[in-house]
Structure 1
Amino acid sequence: LNLSENTATGSCRIGVFNNLDESIPHNEGAKSQIKVLLREGSAIGKPKYPVGTSVATTNVNDRLMIAGNCVFSRMGAPYGQAESGSHLPAGVGVISGEDPFKHGKSYVNQVFVGYAGGGARHGFDGWLTYCGPANAGLIQLDSVEVDESMYPIVIERRGVLPGSQGFGEFEGAPATGGVFYPLDHDMTIVYAADGTSFPPRGVLGGGDGKESETIKLRAGEKIVLPAFSEETIEDGARIEFTACGGGGYGDPLKRDPKRVAATVNRGWLSREDAETVYKVVLTDADEPGLLKVDEARTAALRAV
């Protein structure tokens, strides 16, 4: 999990650039003005031979970028960013096995069934398909149908987990969860679900995002799996994952009530959480099935 000198230096610079005006070019002239102090022999610094750096672009590297983004929030709004979800939950695990529908031919690949959401920043909610700061929203979710046609697996469920986002004036992205399993064979999965013990934290009064979780479902039993592991999912068993949500930015009571209503109507927030967390009272809208802000009751509740 050691970083290389380049990833350690680059990740620190990313945190700085994310908090500077976008008109500043990301070129050598600008980069040279950011001095990064690295300690030789450190996991986050200059590695010493013969340590490995095969995972230098994810996980610990994500944590360094997250720290670089967050530290600027100590300056107050509009600076900084809440912690984002980190990398490699089981939803982006590496799966392998022998395909029973292709005469036992071996298969192995990393799937992108579901991954962590982004942290909020001033003016913006977190990005749903963030996939850690090393990707920062540039990667795409796999098509369920394509994955199921390429590999002997079934993706039973994938979707947003309501109420799993870090609450705040600007919300972190909600967590993504799902269930998938092998067809007529045993499947191996390798993953490294950071955010299981330490979920993404909010900043400046924002709430934390939901933690990652990995569970094996077998014969009616729920087996909580380690955060970092190589597991065999036997024929008949299923793997359930939660890829953590992002942290929130700012006081939830400052969130625009109309944005709260929109999140409830989207199915990402319960009506009860809207009232207890955001102190926003909703009532039936003219369009069936939708809710709108009860402005008078909301103003009264927020004044308490």
Structure 2
Amino acid sequence: MAAIDWGDLRTVQSAEVMETRYPLRVQWTRQAMNSGGAGHTRGGLGTRRALQLTHGQAQYSLLSDGAVVPPFGILGGESAAPVGSYIHEDGKDRPFPTPGKVGGHPMQEGDIIVLQSAGGGGYGDPLTRTQRRCLRM
């Protein structure tokens, strides 16, 4: 089951379908603020999603590009925020030791995984961006 995207398809999986098929609750899905690279044209925002295991036990695995080397900008644009994930267990947020690679991490009922897809790299020199465009979100 892919929580954010699946293979080469950049689609967000339906919360309702995930909650029907798996013992998961999608706590929230939102845009990852400031995840796009700076540039004359900013890179697109990544996605953040929190998933809670509602009952039983499970294992969490992740294999992703973009965690160590984030999407780069072009023609003077800056890199985007990288892929990231952490687990909220025992009342604490714990990052995984290897960015973008997690293999069979045990989960208990109530644990929450937070995932973030990478943003897009910026295009062009950010210093050429007008003040008016800088104020626009």
* TM-based fold match above 0.5: yes
Matched, 1:196 2:72: no
Instruction: Supply the distance in 1 between the matched residues of 2:11 and 2:71 (Cα, whole angstroms).
Output: 21
Which of 69, 74, 81 is equivalent to 1:210?
81
Q: Tell me if the contact between 1:166 and 1:248 (Cα under 8 Å) persists in the aligned partners.
A: yes
Determine if the alignment matches structure 1 residue 239 to structure 2 residue 113. Answer: yes
Asked if 2 retains the 8 angstrom alpha-carbon contact of 1:214 and 1:241, the reply is yes
| Structure with max Cα Rg | 1
Gaps of 5+ in 2: none
Larger relative contact order (Cα-Cα within 8 Å, sequence gap ≥ 6): 2
3-state SS of the aligned residue for 1:201?
A: coil
1:141, 1:215 → 2: CA distance?
Answer: 19
In 2, the alpha carbon distance for the partners of 1:260 and 1:143 equals 33
1:179 is displaced (CA, Å) by: 1.0
SS in structure 1 opposite 2:19? Answer: helix
Higher relative helix content: 1
Q: What is the CA-CA distance between 1:196 and the residue it aligns to?
A: 1.7
Asked if 2 retains the 8 angstrom alpha-carbon contact of 1:209 and 1:246, the reply is: yes
The residue that corresponds to 1:229 in the other structure is: 102
SS state at 1:250 partner:
coil
Aligned AA for 2:125?
A: D
The residue that corresponds to 2:128 in the other structure is 254
Amino acid at match of 1:241: L
Could you say if the C-alpha distance between residues 213 and 234 of structure 1 is closer, same or farther in structure 2, counting changes exceeding 3 Å?
A: same
After TM superposition, the structure 1 = structure 2 runs for residues 33-112 of structure 1, keeping only pairs within 5 Å, are 110-111=1-2
**What is the DSSP-based 3-state SS (H/G/I as helix, E as strand, rest coil) of the residue aligned with 1:177?**
strand
**3-state SS of 1:148 partner:** helix
- Code of the residue aligned with 2:28 in structure 1: it is R
The structure carrying a bigger strand percent of its residues is 2
Matches within 5 A, 1:170-189: 170-189=41-60
Q: Deviations over 1:112-159 (max 9, x none)?
A: x325xxxxxxxxxxxxxxx7xx73xx5432111121122110011111
Share of identical aligned residues, percent? 25
User: Does the Cα contact within 8 Å between 2:44 and 2:119 map onto a contact in 1?
Assistant: yes
Amino acid at match of 2:114: E
Aligned to 2:116, what secondary structure does the other structure show?
Answer: strand
Instruction: Tell me if structure 2 keeps the 8 A contact 1:114–1:158.
Output: no
Q: TM-score, normalised by structure 1?
A: 0.40
Q: After TM superposition, what 4+ stretches of structure 1 lie above 6 angstroms from structure 2?
A: none
Preserved contact between residue 169 and residue 252 of structure 1 (Cα < 8 Å): yes
